[in-house]
């Protein structure tokens, strides 16, 4: 691969924010997910909303939305994007003591929202970790990944 293969590197090999001024505004959406696994006792307390720090899922939901809106502050070359919608869902998997987090982000803009969706699930899972770490140091966060994205020059991507 050459430097020309990477849009965030200029001709001298330096970091470069991509110029999107000539791109058309279009509808763009992204869905990302991750898994967070807790020990049995912690999982049951989170699911029953019995953690001493408060409603873990509610706070993780809010943290994910807030983080998604600040992606451009966290990832150096990301553009600030006007978001239409950010939402997260939390699915409990009792057989694995796992919470599956899914984010949905949409915009009508010149660049995609994959990073915003990935940041949302990442920070939501880290918030769960933070609120539960006093009870469970063995928490694992796995499979942070893009599930789907639509819009833009590259079109639709769906994870198989």
DSSP state of 49: T
> How many angstroms separate the CA atoms of 2 and 81, rounded?
28
Active-site residue, from 19, 40, 130, 136? 130
DSSP states of 29-83: EEEEEEEEE--HHHHHHHHTT--TT--HHHHHHHHHHHHHHTHHHHSTTPPP--E
130 classed as catalytic: yes
SS3 content of the chain, % helix, strand, coil (to 5): 30, 30, 40
The structure tokens 């010149």 sit at: 110
Active site amino acids: 130
């Amino acid at each position: 691969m050459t430097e020309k293969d990477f849009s965030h590197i200029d001709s001298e090999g330096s970091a470069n924010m991509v110029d999107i001024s000539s791109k058309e505004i279009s509808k763009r959406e992204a869905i990302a997910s991750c898994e967070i696994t807790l020990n049995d006792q912690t999982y049951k307390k989170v699911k029953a909303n019995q953690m001493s720090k408060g409603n873990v899922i509610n706070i993780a939901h809010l943290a994910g939305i807030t983080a998604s809106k600040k992606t451009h502050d966290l990832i150096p070359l990301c553009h600030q994007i006007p978001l239409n919608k950010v939402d997260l869902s939390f699915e409990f998997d009792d057989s694995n003591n796992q919470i599956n987090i899914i984010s949905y982000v949409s915009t009508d803009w010149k660049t995609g929202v994959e990073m915003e969706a990935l940041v949302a699930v990442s920070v939501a899972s880290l918030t769960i970790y933070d609120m539960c770490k006093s009870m469970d140091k063995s928490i694992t966060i796995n499979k942070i990944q893009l599930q789907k994205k639509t819009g833009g020059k590259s079109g639709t991507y769906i994870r198989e």
